[in-house]
Amino acid sequence: MKPLDVVASAFRNAFRSRLRTSLTVLAIFIGAFTLSLTNGLGTGINQYIDDTVSSVGVDDVMTVTKASEDVPTDGGPAEYDPDQIAADGPPGATATALTDDDIDTIAGIEGVQSVEPAKSVMVDYVQHDDGTRYQLSVAEFVPGMRVELASGEQVDLDAADPELVLPESYLEALDLGTAADAVGQTVALAVTDATGKQVTAEATIVGVAEPGVITMGGAIPNDVLTEELHDLQTTGAPEAETTRYAQASVSFDAAAGAVEAQALQDRLDDAGFTGSTLEDQLGAVTAVIDGIVLVLNGFAVIALVAAGIGIVNTLFMAVQERTREVGLMKAMGLSSSRVFSLFSIEAVVIGLVGSALGVLGAIGVGQLVNGVSGDLLADLPGLTLIAFDPVSVATVVLSVMAIAFLAGTLPALRAARQDPISSLRYE
């Protein structure tokens, strides 16, 4: 019997007992369906995070702060430190201020390509024309960062005129019209200087940012606007107060790999600073998602193990029912390896059918869920809740087929080892 004849015979024999085989296929279907759906959920959410992660930073930029030396270990309050400065984070969060000398020190550390101090700006309000004033926060825009836009373009850090990207939620309040209408219009930003006087600066809206899971939570200014607001805010302040920074952005060679990035973090730590990469900042988010998907996949694996036991049972019964048939084939010269292949391929066929149906069912349900969740998750544009990566889908199918092959090995060996004379006498 030629190899193609073995394969064709295996396909025919796989469903000789339709009810028994169909029940086994159903068990495989449940496992493959669950595995595909949970993987799709993880893929969809992680893809969305990857697409919006650039609003937090970029791969070749590290956020550096000064390590605090007096952190209480007993959970009590920290001692007052005049060098503390407000930092990004929960309300009341502080960090030890960086000075110009610290910036120079960081710039001299091996592996640092450039360093830019983050100038903190506290905007009192934003106003369009003579309309209502609204609170607004602004955030530093790191070179290479990308914000998901409803209209317009990213801020130009090298532009000579003040620019900003405004959150979409401010359009109606500021009476700016649609996102497209808002682009090109001018708004006033107010800050309070060190003397208590409130002063304003004007900026042109160049883009409107869409909401997302990970957002800056405010407007994105370019360098000129940040400098202008910072200068206005520090007018009248002692010189020492104008050169204090909560953090700095350090550019490094991301292509050098994770080992070199870790080495740079170690060198910063030795110098009294703390560096965190984008991966460090988002590691907890992705770890939670991956953990949930892993737990859900565990249930799918349990179903696949049960399906594997079903395959063993199905093929053992098939071998017993076809004992005389196997004896006849071996008496006619069919080798034991061909007999083994015949029953092994039957197991693989059952795994292929069950996994293919499971994957197709998961894709269908995924499309349905995505359609329904579109309205529920309208505030998260661009999110595909369940996404199917071709590589992941192929991995599920091939994995199930491998499990089916392993499950069919024992019955196939039993068939291959049968004595043709004894098999022909089997009743």
CA-CA distances (angstroms) from residue 16 to 20, 22, 184, 210?
9, 10, 72, 57
Amino acid at site 170: Y
Closest CA to 212 of 376, 48, 385: 48
Q: How confident is the chain (427 residues) per 10-residue block, as mean pLDDT?
A: 69 76 87 88 77 60 74 54 50 65 91 86 91 86 72 87 91 93 94 91 92 63 90 84 80 83 90 82 70 78 82 81 78 81 86 92 89 68 79 90 88 81 66
Q: What is the pLDDT of residue 91?
A: 41
The helix/strand/coil state of 22 is helix
Alpha-carbon gap, residue 333 to 133, rounded angstroms: 92
Alpha-carbon gap, residue 43 to 28, rounded angstroms: 22
Residues 6+ apart with CB under 8 A from 302: 31
Query: How many other CB atoms sit within 10 Å of the CB of residue 289?
Result: 15
The torsion region of residue 145 among left (phi > 0), alpha (psi -120 to 50) and beta comes to: beta
CB distance 205 to 166 below 8 Å: yes
Q: What is the pLDDT of residue 89?
A: 47
Q: What is the pLDDT of residue 183?
A: 94
SS (H, E, C) 69-111: CCCCCCCCCCCCCCCEEECCCCCCCEEECECHHHHHHHHCCCC
CB distance 118 to 246 below 8 Å: yes
Q: How many CA atoms lie within 13 A of 252 on its CB side?
A: 32
Q: Where are the domains of the chain?
A: 3-53+284-424, 61-275
The pair of three-digit structure tokens given for residue 65, joined into one six-digit string: 């702060």
Closest CA to 392 of 60, 125, 62, 46: 46
Q: What is the pLDDT of residue 345?
A: 87
List helix spans (H) across 15-86: 18-52
